[in-house]
Amino acid sequence: MKRPLVVIVGPTAVGKTALGIALSKAFNGEVINGDAFQVYERLNIGTAKVTEEEKDNVPHHLLDIKKPDESFSAAEFQRTAKETITDIHERKRLPILVGGTGMYVKGVTSDWSFQEEKADRDVQQQLEAIALEPNGNERLHARLHSLDQAAAARIHPNNIRKMIRAIELLERGHDAPKPLQSVDNSPYDLIMIGLTMDRSSLYERIERRVDVMLEQGLFEEVQQLYEEGLRDEQAMKAIGYKEWIDYFEGKASFEHVVETIKTHSRQFAKRQLTWFRNKETVHWFDSEQEKHDHFTGIVQFLAGELEKMSN
C-alpha cells in the first residue's frame, strides 16, 4: 500500500515556505526541502532559506547538508529525500516536500533514474573556454559528433552545458548522458499542491524580495564566499550569487548586478511554472487569496484528499 506524500510547488517568491509550515502544523507533518541550493550551508539570504523563527518548531530536512564547495546531484537528492520520506512515514507523520527545483521534485514523485558520474572540472573548464570563443558552440558540437553521433543528434548546439558534460564523459571513456528514464507510477500516494498568482504581481513580489535580500545582507553573504575563493562551484551557480562575480571582477556595476538578479529571478519563475504545468499533475491555488484566508482552502482540500486515501 502506497503512503501519502504532499508536494508543494510553484515559482520563486510565491509563498511555498509559509504554506509548508502551515500544513505541517495542521496535519502533523514535517517539511523536506526541495530546493537545489538550500542544501548548502551559508547560502541563506539569497536562497530565501527558512529561518529558525519561521520554522515555528516544525521539523525541516535537507537544509544545510552540504558545504558551499561540495557538489550535490539530482540523484543524490532523490536517494536522500526518499530515505527521509521513509523515516517520516515510520514515525507516523506526514512528509511534505516543498521546493521549486523541478528535476529534484520529479526525481522523487516519479522513479526517474539518474546517471551518476563525478564531473572532471578541469576538463569542463577547458571546454567552457572553447565555448566562449567565436563559433565555440559549433566547434563543441562537431567535437561531440565525432565522439557520439547519437548524442550530437539529441543535444542542440546551443545547449552548452549538456554538450560539455557529454564531451567530458565520452573523452573519459564513459557513456554520454541519456534521456532520463521515467516510470509514470509514483511510489507514493501523491497530493501535488501548486501556488501561483497573477504574473505581474509575482514579478513585483520578486523584485521587492531582491531589495529586501540586499537590506538583509545578500551582498555581504556573497562577498564572504567570493573572498574564500569560491567561483565555479555548484553553489555559486545559484541566482543571487553567480551574478556578483562580474562585480567583484570589475566587469559590472552594483546596480547592473541587482537588475540582472531581478531579471534572472523573473525568468526562473517563468521556467518553474512551465515545468510544473507540463511535468506534474498539480492542484493550483491562488497564493494571494489563500494567504489572505490563512490557507483555509488548501487545508480543507488536503483534509479531503487524505480522507479519500484512508478509506
CA distance linking residue 186 with residue 16, whole number of Å: 22
11 marked as binding residue: yes
Q: Region of 67 please: left (phi>0), alpha (psi -120 to 50) or beta.
A: beta
Residue 129 marked in a binding site: no
Count each helix (H run) and each strand (E run) in the chain, helices first: 14, 6
Is 42 strand, coil or helix? coil
Q: At what angle do helices 16-27 and 296-310 cross, to 10 degrees?
A: 50
DSSP, collapsed to helix, strand or coil, labels residue 181 as strand
CB 11 within 8 A of CB 100: yes
Q: Where are the beta strands (DSSP E) in 4-115?
A: 4-9, 29-33, 60-61, 94-98
- The Cα 238–Cα 217 span in angstroms is 16
Ligand-binding site membership of 12 (annotated): yes
User: Would you say 10 is a known binding-site residue?
Assistant: yes
Sheet holding 29-33, edge to edge: 60-61, 29-33, 94-98, 4-9, 189-196, 283-286
Distance CA 168, CA 250 (A): 31
Binding site annotation covers 84?
A: no
What is the C-alpha to C-alpha distance for residues 276 and 8, in angstroms, rounded to an integer?
Answer: 11
Spatial contact of 187 and 109, defined as CB atoms under 8 Å apart: no
Flag whether 237 is marked binding. Answer: no
Torsion sign, CA atoms 164, 170, 173, 175: positive
Binding annotation for ATP: 10-17
Binding annotation: 10-17
Binding annotation for substrate: 12-17
